[in-house]
Each structure stands twice: as C-alpha cells, then as structure tokens.
Amino acid sequence: MAAWHSPLGPSPHAACSSKSNILPISAVMDLLIRKRAAGYVCRSCTRQVQREIRLRRSYSSSARPDIYDVVCVGGGPAGLSLLTALRANPVTSHLRIALVEAQDLSKIKSWKLPPDRFSNRCSSLTPASVRYLDQIGAWHHLDQTRVQDYHEMQVWDGVTDARIEFDTLSSSPTSGPDTTIAYMTENLNLTSGLLKRLEELGGVSTYDNAKVEQITLGAEHPESNLDLREWPVIHLSGGKQLHARLLVGADGANSPVRSFAGIQARGWDYNRHGVVATLALEEQDFPTHQSFSPSGKIAYQRFLPTGPVALLPLPGNFATLVWSTTPENAALLKSLPPKEFIAMVNAAFRLSPVDLSYLHSPASSGTPKEEEYSWRMEHTHINPLSVPQTIIGVQENSIASFPLKFRHADTYIAERVALVGDAAHTIHPLAGQGLNQGQGDIQSLARTISYAVEHGMDIGTTMALESYLSERYAANHVVMGVCDKLHKLYSFESGPLVGLRSLGLRAVNGWEGVKSFLMRQASGGGSML
C-alpha cells in the first residue's frame, strides 16, 4: 500500500497533520475516515490526502527507491556507536548506511567548552564500554582532558549509615594494573568523538536537522521485479524517502521506530525526578586516598528514603550531581538561589534524613538553607573522609531535572527493525548503567550483523537478528531488575527491611568474594552480563 505523506510545516489543517507523524498509512486513513465521519476534517484536507495518495502511487511505480542496508534513526551515543562499529569492520563496511537525526550534527561535532565549564549531562562509562569504543577507533577522538577515571566508590545507607566501600585494588589484588571502576565524561564529548571518528571513516549518508515525518511500508515495483511491501520507508521532512533493509531505532525512550514496529514498552514511572548539576568542590583531592586511587577521585552515592544522591568526579575540582528525589523536592531545588542549592547538596551527603526532610519542607522556608545547614552541621558528627569534599559552587544554568522511568520493550527485534539503547530499555540511573547497556546492545548487534553478512543472510530478517535479541534481552533484564529492586529497597525509612539492608551492606563489605563479584559486574558492564 502506498504511503500518505503528511502535510508539512505550519498548516491551517493542523488537526490532520499533527497526529500523522509516525502512524502507518492504514491508521492515518482510518483516523481520517473516522474524523471525516464525525465532521472534524474539512473537505480540502480530505482532497489533499487523496491527491497525495495518487501522487505516491505513481511515484512508487516510476522512480527507483533509495535503498539502504541500514537506516539508523537517532544520532545519540547508541546510534553513532553502531554506525562507527559497522563502518570500522571490513566485513560490514560495504553496507549502504544512512543516519537520521533531528539535531544539527555539525554543531555537536565541533562542540567545545572551556576547561572550567562542563555540560550537565554526564555518563559513567565502564572499562568494557571504553574498550569497545577503543576497538572501533573512537575513544581517542574524545577530548581526554574532559574524561575523569575513578578507582573508588563509597556507597552508604542514609538511614543506618551502613557502608560498602569499593576500590579495585583491595577487592581484586590479583587484577592487572588497570584498577579503573569507570570513566566519567560528558555525553557531548562522547557523541562529538564518535562523529569525528565517523567522519574519518566516511561512507554514511547523514540526514541531520531532519524530522521523521512518518514511517510506512514500501510498495511493489513490478517494472524492476521488486517487492518492497515488507520494507520500512522513512519519510523525512523535505520529502526525502529512505528504504531500509534494517531500520535501527536508536531514537530514545519515546522511539517512533518502536511505535512503527508495534512493539510495546512496558514499565512504570518512579514518581521521582533526577536533578543534575555541575558543581565545584573545595579541594582537588584527598592525599589519604592516593595509595589506592591514582587519580585521588572517588564516586559517592548515598541512599536516601526519597532516592539515591550521587556525586561523580569530573576533571579538576569539578563533579557532576545526580540526585533522584520527589518531583516536589526537585522543583524546590531548582527554584533555590545558588548558595542555598549548594547548602542542600552538602546537606544531602551529611545530614540525617529527618533533618533533610525538614529542609525540604515548607516549614523551613523562612530561614536561608545555608544557615539551617551550618547550624545543623554543628550537631552532626561525620568522618570527613567518608563524605565528598564540600561543594563551593554550582555552574550557572547547569541545574536541570528529568523524570525517572522504568521501561522495557517487549522485544528488541521485528521484521526489518532492531531497537537499541533507550528505545529498548530505560533504567533508573542509580547504577550508572543506562549508557553502558546501550553500548552492550551495540556490541551485540554489530556482531550479529557482521555474522549475518559473512553468511549471506538478509540482515533485516528476524532470523538474522535473533541472536541479538537472545544475547541482550536477558542480560538487560537482570541489570534493570537489580537497579529497580535497589531503588525500592532503599525507599523505606523504617521497618524490618532497613535493618536487613544495612546488615546486607555490612556483610557484603566484609565479604571479599561477593564484593569483588559486584565490582566485576559494575566495571565489566555488558560483557559480563
């Protein structure tokens, strides 16, 4: 069936065009017919649709379709890594590849910030992810002065103060010289580096600043004995149409590709927001930690009843904050002047949950937060080595928040469709695994495609994609389940679970075998699970 090309741009018939972006033609027609019946659609609109259908029909029987082996929708870390992997591998480098992205990629490629300013969207890359990025030749294209490795994690329970300390040297004394737990960097540093590597490799038809108007199925082309009725056709703003042997949905949590494939993503909202910010710390490093932490950098995470708060090191005396909390608290934090915001973050790593809860309540709105904080700190005893350095500054305009969700697609593959990264799964950020899961997907999908090409398979068929699904679905499910359960476990303020979980943390901390297993999982990322 031919596709209906939705009216472009601002249209007086917005009632029709606004809903038609990603629906298949049958659904659009259905919608229109129903709306027409109900009298919602004007006559000229219906006529235009009919004319477009006629046009499309004649088009598909005359012009030769523009056929790609892989069309990737989404130029984020997952999509760009996949295309880089395919281009870097001689087995798959002959594939015809297109990239579709809504943003201006040349701006991202030339992205640059002064050394004392950082983007507020950062990710923790596991050594496994970094090894893969290096293997496909992308890692050295990242600005290495904006990458921060860390070798120690401090994780503790905000209610009972039970602690688990992770450092690679003490937990795996036999491991090699590399004791890195993870590498922190800005997402833009990663995407910019991947774009530079892709430019070096060449051979990708890039459609950026492009909106996916709709995705339909192809048509029959009797004159060239072609039957593309099972092939996805991506309609871009501006009229360009791409036929895809394999359509990769790297298009995020609200993936239009996933909707086109009719794949459901199930899950729930945590009723929590992640508050992020770029922060400046009091001093650069702790000499006491240098014996087992070469960079002197430590990642801190405290589980509060409202959600975990984490401070992750960036180069210099900078750090990035990820604070999962209630939407109300998030709104309050975002509304505070810098001084008060800083006091609240320092408090989050130091004060008791009761104090914190008071600081967030309207009852405390009369006094500036920094006064409340310093007064309460006089009555709170903490070991300065067990909490992060005092925060002294917050970068202008770096405070933002986003809702936290748990979503898992029912499947990652359909005929001529594969989903990767957030399009396939959205995870609680507490373990910093989201981006690494995506990298694990890419590694598996690139390997699957390479095997299929070597064995003459049609890379778009579910037969060829099966091994990607079986490799990744269970692995992602385990990671997602663990992170979800951790979040739920720590949202209790009292009751038997609180005692059990601190007992658990203390036991884990004292039991080297279990701890090193957890460490390996954290740093091994996708390759282990």
Q: Which two tokens stand for residue 457?
A: 């398979």
Q: How many residues bind other proteins (CB under 8 A)?
A: 37
Instruction: Please identify which residue in 455, 494, 495, 496 interacts with other proteins, judged by CB under 8 A.
Output: 455
Query: Phi, psi at residue 324, to the nearest 5°?
Result: -85, 120
Q: Which is nearer to other proteins, 295 or 461 (CB)?
A: 461
Q: Which of 303/473 has CB closer to other proteins?
A: 473
User: Residue 39 carries which DSSP code?
Assistant: T
Answer yes or no whether residue 131 interacts with other proteins by CB under 8 A. no
Q: Which is nearer to other proteins, 345 or 452 (CB)?
A: 452
Stretch that binds other proteins, among 23-31, 392-400, 417-425, 456-464 (CB under 8 A): 456-464
Told to check if 383 binds other proteins by CB under 8 A, we report no
Sole window of 105-113, 326-334, 388-396, 450-458 interacting with other proteins (rule: CB under 8 A): 450-458
Q: Which stretch binds other proteins (CB under 8 A): 232-240, 324-332, 388-396, 452-460?
A: 452-460
Judged by CB under 8 A, the stretch of 6-14, 261-269, 274-282, 458-466 that binds other proteins is 458-466
Strands 391-394, 265-281: pairing is antiparallel
CA angle, corner 41, sides to 37 and 46, nearest 5?
95
Q: How far is the CB of 408 from other proteins (least distance, A)?
A: 23
462 near other proteins, rule: CB under 8 A: yes
Check residue 228 for interaction with other proteins (CB under 8 A).
yes
Question: Quick one: 91 or 529, whose CB is closer to other proteins?
Answer: 91
Contact 454, 91 (CB under 8 A): yes
Q: How far apart are CA 356 and CA 339, in angstroms?
A: 16
Of residues 11 and 462, the one with the C-beta less far from other proteins: 462
Contact track, other proteins, 12-51, x by CB under 8 A: ----------------------------------------
Question: Residue 1, interface with other proteins (CB under 8 A)?
Answer: no
SS3 content of the chain, % helix, strand, coil (to 5): 45, 25, 35
- Is 90 near other proteins (CB under 8 A)? yes
Distance separating alpha carbons of residues 346 and 370, to the nearest angstrom: 9
* Alpha helices per DSSP H over 63-140: 77-88, 105-109, 127-135
CB of 202 to other proteins, least distance (A): 9
Q: Based on the shown chain and the rule CB under 8 A, indicate whether residue 451 belongs to the binding site for other proteins.
A: yes
Tokens, residue 499: 């005692």
The binding track of 48-87 with respect to other proteins, each residue x by CB under 8 A or -, is: -----------------x-x-----------------x-x
Q: Smallest gap, in angstroms, from Cβ of residue 227 to other proteins?
A: 5
Q: Does position 117 bind other proteins by CB under 8 A?
A: no
Q: Residues near 225 by Cβ (< 8 Å), separated by ≥ 6?
A: none
Give the integer Cα–Cα distance in Å for 318 and 283. Answer: 9
| Shortest CB 442 distance to other proteins, Å | 12
Binding mask 188-227 for other proteins (x = CB under 8 A): -------------x-x--------------------xxxx
* Nearby residues of 128 by Cβ (< 8 Å), 6 or more positions away: 436, 439, 440, 523, 524, 525, 526, 527, 528
Q: Any bridge partners for residue 70, and if so which?
A: 97, 246
Chain centroid to CA 345:
24
Give the span between the Cα atoms of 322 and 310, in whole angstroms: 5
DSSP per residue over 343-394, as a string? HHHHHHTTS-HHHHHHHHSGGGTTS-HHHHHHHHHTT----GGGSPPPEEEE
At 464, which helix (H) or strand (E)?
Answer: helix 462-489
507 binds other proteins (CB under 8 A): no
* Contact set for other proteins, span 242-261 (CB under 8 A): 245
| Positions 133 through 192 that interact with other proteins (CB under 8 A) | 134-137
Residue 219 CB, nearest approach to other proteins (Å): 12
Using CB under 8 A, pick the residue from 454, 485, 499, 512 that binds other proteins. 454
Among 33, 392, 463, 507, binds other proteins (CB under 8 A): 463
Q: Closest approach of Cβ 458 to other proteins, in Å?
A: 6
Nearer to other proteins, 30 or 134 (CB): 134
Cβ-contact 278, 398 below 8 angstroms: yes
Q: Are strands 97-100 and 67-73 parallel, antiparallel or unpaired?
A: parallel
* Pair 319, 313: CB distance under 8 Å: yes
* Residue tagged 């007992």 (tokens): 503
Instruction: Looking at residues 296 to 355 of the shown chain, list those that interact with other proteins (rule: CB under 8 A).
Output: none
Nearest Cα to Cα of residue 285 among 430, 389, 419, 178: 389
Q: Shortest Cβ distance from residue 106 to other proteins (Å)?
A: 23
Residues of this chain, 420-439, that bind other proteins according to CB under 8 A: none
Which H helix or E strand runs over 15? Answer: helix 14-17
Between 45 and 80, CB nearer to other proteins: 80
Binding residue (CB under 8 A) for other proteins from 1, 29, 457, 528: 457
* Sign of the alpha-carbon torsion through 255, 258, 260, 265: negative
CB of 218 to other proteins, least distance (A): 10
CA pair distance 434, 479, nearest whole angstrom? 10
In this complex, which beta carbon is closest to other proteins, that of residue 136 or of residue 212?
136
Instruction: Using CB under 8 A, list all residues that contact other proteins.
Output: 65, 67, 85, 87-91, 93-94, 96, 134-137, 201, 203, 224-228, 230-231, 245, 450-451, 453-458, 461-463, 466
